[in-house]
A = this chain, B = another copy of it.
Amino acid sequence: MKILVINPNASAAMTGEIERAAREVASSGTQIIAVNPADGPESIEGHYDDVYAAVGVLECIRRHEGEGIDAYLIACGNDPALAAAREMVRAPVLGIGEAAMHVATMLGGHFSVITTLARTNVQLEDNVLRYGMSHACRSVRDVSLPVLGLEGDEAYGKMRDVIVDAIENDAAETIVLACAGMAAMAKRLSEELSIPVIDGVQGGVRLLEALVGLGAATTKIRSFAPPGAKTYRGAFAYAAPGARPANE
């Protein structure tokens, strides 16, 4: 089974970390192909970055067309281009934000989401609402650190403090990490604080294996039917959907 793990930002270093996290939990028969777009932001912290990252996500999918990809994981916590990717392919697609919330609810508790900068909170709150997680979500909390600053002891300490605060003051029973850059800290946080701390990269890989194992495919009725054939102009002419969608 081949899973294309797409880091939507253009930071190869971060792609490397994501790949490491993904491989750590992948089953023996699963091949992880971690990629990132050549074009776009080096980190994603808001809606503006999202717009350019979304194009990158779709380009990664297109680039690997015809390679027999069985499932796609979008490795950014606010799940850029998730719905568009579902239109584009028949294979299952997950975003790591969505994946981590599913895992958290399956472990039984009410969760808090930990994100990077305060500017991203509302974006995640909107996703919580659209994903039907409002009742399950205790709070969305930021650590006031940028995506590329999520390493080292000081960052770990901030993460721990915010999580402890969420447990004590928001009654969080599970923690959802909303940034792929936090993946490396999940295990240590979980053990130190005795609470499930869910990273969506690892969660997403395993959930996709589950969906592929079921022979499940993205629904193609109505909302996620393949994009209809039409003209695209100028620099995006190459992206015009043909009569048949990419991976069929």
Complex Cα distance A156/B236, Å? Answer: 32
Whether A18 sits at the interface, judged by CB under 8 Å, is: no
Contact for A40 among B117, B198, B202, B233, CB less than 8 A: B233
- Least distance between A140 CB and chain B CB atoms (Å): 9
Contact for A133 among B83, B121, B129, B132, CB less than 8 A: B132
**Contact call A38/B233, Cβ cutoff below 8 A:** yes
Interface residues as binary, A7-50 with B (CB distance below 8 Å gives 1, 0 otherwise): 00010000000000000010100000000011111110111111
Interface residues as binary, A97-135 with B (CB distance below 8 Å gives 1, 0 otherwise): 010001101111110000001110111001001111111
Complex Cα distance A118/B110, Å? Answer: 13
Enumerate chain B residues within 8 angstroms of A126, measured Cβ to Cβ.
Answer: 130
Enumerate chain B residues within 8 angstroms of A218, measured Cβ to Cβ.
Answer: 107-109
Q: Which residue of B lies closest to A52 (CB)?
A: B236
Complex Cα distance A16/B109, Å? Answer: 32
Copies in the complex: 6
Interface residues on A, range: 35 or more
- Least distance between A78 CB and chain B CB atoms (Å): 11
Give me the interface of A with B, judged by CB distance under 8 Å. Answer: 10, 25, 27, 37-43, 45-52, 54-55, 58, 81, 83-84, 86-88, 92-94, 98, 102-103, 105-110, 117-119, 121-123, 126, 129-136, 146, 167, 171-174, 194-196, 198, 202-203, 206-207, 209-211, 213-214, 216-225, 227-228, 230-237, 239-241
For the complex of A and B, list the 3 residue pairs with the smallest distance between their C-beta atoms, beginning with the closest.
Answer: A39-B234, A132-B132, A206-B210
> Besides A55-B236, A146-B228, A206-B209, 14 other CB < 8 A contacts?
A10-B233, A38-B234, A39-B236, A40-B233, A52-B236, A103-B210, A105-B132, A107-B211, A109-B218, A109-B222, A119-B222, A122-B223, A173-B219, A173-B221
